[in-house]
Structure 1
Amino acid sequence: MTMAAVIETRAGTQARPETSRIATVELVRDMRDAESVWRGLEQSNQFSTPYQRFDFLEAWQRQVGEREGIRPFIVIAYDREHQPLLLLPLGVKRESGARVARFLGGKHATFNMALWRKDFAAAATQADLDALISGIRVHAQADVLALTQQPRRWTDLPNPFALLPGQPSANDCPLLTMEPGAAPASRVSNSFRRRLKGKERKLQTLAGYGYRLATTDADIKRLLDWFFTIKPQRMAAQQLPNVFADPGIEDFIRDACMTRLSGGGHAIDIHALECDDEVIAFFAGVADANRFSMMFNTYTLSGNAKYSPGLILMRDIIDHYAELGTTSLDLGIGSDDYKRLFCKDDEPIFDSFVPLNVRGRIAAAALSSLMHAKRLIKHTPALMQIAQRVRGVLQ
């Protein structure tokens, strides 16, 4: 970090009014300078999602964000004893003439949230949010905050940002809620389990068949090598663009999958069905004590695909996390048919576009209208069919 950047960060601290528990708001432009506060606020006794872990977002920014011209825009709010109350992990980039601050992680983070001190999040008020936005505005480093794909609740608390003006996000996120200690049939019905067992009997004849959570570097590398070979072929067959070919994406995923967390597991965990001859199905996602959230998946191109290995693996993952006491599981953005076989509910998610100046008001209105139009298309079958046909032609 340059000396100029250090001066900019420290000099940007601004006192807040007495009506809020937020006493100062600081802007940090180097993620490493925020690491100590960040890791403190991502502990299990605080309030955040696994998508906002430092290890996950540092790998994304280093491999993807920097290539896209995104500059870290990390906001930290402190109380009067200079104890951190929240950290907002944003990055800023110029879009259509406006400086737009968005959550780091891009499309690879299903959920976006600040990292909160839990007692503060539980009692946060509109005055606190007003003080936060006012403190950000003082720095004059962005025109608008585009705070998209935020959960209205996370685990046992409402998201304080739900107090901001907002609108439903363009996409839905299928959700499975699991009650600790409940019978397996409460999460995957007995009839569905029997159907999967019937299919799985064909796979169980394969030598070395089984479900595995990758724990060693060698297994993680082997599974990722397979994934990055098979997934592009599957996407091409569906006439979909290979998003994993974008600059830095594969490097980010490999880094995050290899990064071990202090509490166990990895920044991205890999689950697989395998036999001695091949990988049969692959799911990867992020997890904490309360939630597993799926990010990406694929399955074999061989004849074993006809036995629904992806569904079998999903059942195994659900049972694995239920045994750990996990209380919810989601299958990522989008309402694909297979997701509805497991997830009957949706996680309510919303967007907020907060202007910070005159230019930001114009940008916020434009961004809000664009996301509203996307939601309308995705929730109107006739419009969605047209959009899919257009995408197919372009491909």
Structure 2
Amino acid sequence: MAMAAELHGSDTSSPSYSVTSRIARVDIIRDMAAAKVNWRALDGDDFLHTPYQRFELLDAWQQSIGKHEGAVPLIVVAYDVNSRPLVLLPLVSSRENGAKVARFMGGKHPTFNMALWRRDFAETISSTELDALITAIRMQPDGVDVLAFAQQPKQWRNVANPLASLAAQPSTNPCPMMTMVPGCKPEERVSTSTRRRLRNKERKLQALPGYRYFVATTDDDINRLLDSFFVIKPQRMALSKLPDIFSDPATKAFVRDACLAKLPSSGRAIELHALECDAELISIFACVADGERFSTMFNTYTISENARYSPGLILLRYMIDHFGDLGYSSLDFGVGSDEYKMTFCKDDEPLTDAFIPLTARGKFAALGMSSLTHAKRLVKHNPALMQMAQLLRNALSR
């Protein structure tokens, strides 16, 4: 049935237009607090989103890194005729090389970027309804030139991701992942041979006073672990001749605020898992989790002699068993083909990028973004080009 889809911004109203759609209204919200109620309404088993799109995590990012970088919230919410949210796109807009670009919130920190969908709507959305969402953004008076929707999963919880079909191309990297059968034996998650190898290494660590694996649940434990993390991480990055991406005050604020942020049900927006002894933090992994998938975000490990015993791999084995015992069915360690990921992950989660022009200027910006992504992917998947890029990066970092 045809109905008017009214578009509203925070400072002005756009003209209404008619579509054949379940979408009765589209709002553009410019303030995180104003979007919170709608965000909360799209949480639960009847809705579809990754744990990276939780309000608590993205609000922590926007209040720190987002504001520091000049990103302005552009939150798109579509409603049905009963004013119930159908989908929420957690976007920010900013000026990049002369063009106004809208991206998913979170910058480089989420592995997966995705809208928050009512599950039945995502399963049956039409091209007309997708067009209505894009048109709502195009009609805004502040003039977004291009939508840059990077690192989108093709599907989530066995439902195709509608936005991943729009002008999509493969992302620079896929995401290594591991599937688990809920209720399976530990040896079916991590092989007996790998367990034996890690157990032999761990014996050295088990001799340390106070050695333990644990999940930080109190503010005091979270702050204590992060204090150690921010000391160890720059030293570890320097040893690898890599820039310390956590040195920026806004990034530190985001990490701490998101780790401390409590979810409405239970747990934190970012969980911290650690191996430690009385003398030091040995290894730490941060992750997000949603009951079915856990995804790691950042990590580090000691620079002491205890680093020889593969504490990162030992910690990951503990985490896999922890979440496996809770009935989780999959996990990932973020994009990239690091060797430690390949120890556990035998499959890939394919990711797509979509660069959608909304204006004439946006056509040039979208073409440039698409070409750059294609070139990066070509380098990443060509060993000779990758070696040249690595040599260049090392030379520039000296």
Which TM class, normalised by the smaller chain length?
Answer: over 0.9
The Cα shift of 1:16 comes to: 4.9
Instruction: State the one-letter code of the partner of 2:223.
Output: K
What are the superposed Cα offsets for residues 78-113 of structure 1, whole Å, 9 maximum, x if unpaired?
112221110000110111110000111000111000
The Cα shift of 1:8 comes to: 4.2
What are the superposed Cα offsets for residues 131-182 of structure 1, whole Å, 9 maximum, x if unpaired?
2111221114311100000000112211111331200001221101111111
The Cα shift of 1:298 comes to: 0.8
The equivalent position to 1:260 in structure 2, one of 259, 262, 269, is 262
What are the superposed Cα offsets for residues 210-255 of structure 1, whole Å, 9 maximum, x if unpaired?
1100011111111001100001001011110000012400011000
Partner of 1:213: 215
The Cα shift of 1:312 comes to: 0.5
Alpha carbons 2:271, 2:287 under 8 Å: kept: yes
Measured in 1, the distance between the counterparts of 2:245 and 2:234 equals 9
Instruction: Provide the TM-score with structure 1 as the length reference.
Output: 0.96
Measured in 1, the distance between the counterparts of 2:251 and 2:352 equals 25
Residue 54 of structure 2 corresponds to residue 53 of structure 1: yes
Partner of 2:353: 351
The Cα shift of 1:203 comes to: 1.2
The Cα shift of 1:23 comes to: 2.0
Measured in 1, the distance between the counterparts of 2:248 and 2:207 equals 39
Summarize the Cα distance change of 1:123–1:16 in structure 2 as closer, same or farther, 3 Å threshold: farther
Measured in 2, the distance between the counterparts of 1:183 and 1:60 equals 38
What are the superposed Cα offsets for residues 48-98 of structure 1, whole Å, 9 maximum, x if unpaired?
111111110111011101111111111111112221110000110111110
Partner of 2:3: none
Measured in 2, the distance between the counterparts of 1:203 and 1:380 equals 39
Measured in 2, the distance between the counterparts of 1:86 and 1:202 equals 51
Instruction: Provide the TM-score with structure 2 as the length reference.
Output: 0.95
Instruction: State the one-letter code of the partner of 1:28.
Output: I
The Cα shift of 1:13 comes to: 5.5
SS at match of 2:190: coil
Partner of 2:200: 198
Measured in 1, the distance between the counterparts of 2:57 and 2:129 equals 28
- Cα RMSD between the aligned structures? 1.3
The Cα shift of 1:381 comes to: 1.1
Partner of 1:123: 124
Measured in 2, the distance between the counterparts of 1:380 and 1:232 equals 30
Instruction: State the one-letter code of the partner of 1:168.
Output: P
Instruction: State the one-letter code of the partner of 2:282.
Output: I
- Structure 2: tracts of 5 or more residues without a match: 1-7
Summarize the Cα distance change of 1:352–1:95 in structure 2 as closer, same or farther, 3 Å threshold: same
What are the superposed Cα offsets for residues 334-359 of structure 1, whole Å, 9 maximum, x if unpaired?
11011000001111110001111111
What are the superposed Cα offsets for residues 349-390 of structure 1, whole Å, 9 maximum, x if unpaired?
100011111111111111111111111111111111111111
Measured in 2, the distance between the counterparts of 1:110 and 1:148 equals 10
Alpha carbons 1:175, 1:328 under 8 Å: kept: yes
Alpha carbons 1:10, 1:26 under 8 Å: kept: no
Partner of 1:326: 328
Alpha carbons 2:153, 2:351 under 8 Å: kept: yes
Measured in 2, the distance between the counterparts of 1:336 and 1:237 equals 17
Partner of 2:301: 299
Summarize the Cα distance change of 1:160–1:364 in structure 2 as closer, same or farther, 3 Å threshold: same
> Aligned ranges for residues 222-241 of structure 1 at < 5 Å?
222-241=224-243
SS at match of 2:232: helix
Measured in 2, the distance between the counterparts of 1:306 and 1:342 equals 19
Alpha carbons 2:9, 2:27 under 8 Å: kept: no
Summarize the Cα distance change of 1:170–1:160 in structure 2 as closer, same or farther, 3 Å threshold: same
Alpha carbons 2:169, 2:352 under 8 Å: kept: yes
What are the superposed Cα offsets for residues 20-62 of structure 1, whole Å, 9 maximum, x if unpaired?
2122221111111111001111334311111111110111011
Aligned residues: 389
Residue 227 of structure 2 corresponds to residue 246 of structure 1: no
The Cα shift of 1:14 comes to: 5.3
Partner of 2:291: 289
Residue 136 of structure 2 corresponds to residue 138 of structure 1: no
SS at match of 1:338: helix
Measured in 1, the distance between the counterparts of 2:55 and 2:361 equals 31
Measured in 2, the distance between the counterparts of 1:377 and 1:240 equals 19
SS at match of 2:139: helix
Residue 26 of structure 2 corresponds to residue 28 of structure 1: no
The Cα shift of 1:11 comes to: 4.0
Summarize the Cα distance change of 1:65–1:146 in structure 2 as closer, same or farther, 3 Å threshold: same
Measured in 2, the distance between the counterparts of 1:194 and 1:271 equals 22
Farther off after superposition, 226-235 or 75-84 = 75-84
Alpha carbons 2:41, 2:85 under 8 Å: kept: no
Partner of 1:42: 43
The Cα shift of 1:15 comes to: 4.0
Measured in 1, the distance between the counterparts of 2:350 and 2:214 equals 31
Instruction: State the one-letter code of the partner of 1:107.
Output: K
Farther off after superposition, 287-296 or 201-210 = 201-210
- Structure 1: tracts of 5 or more residues without a match: 1-6
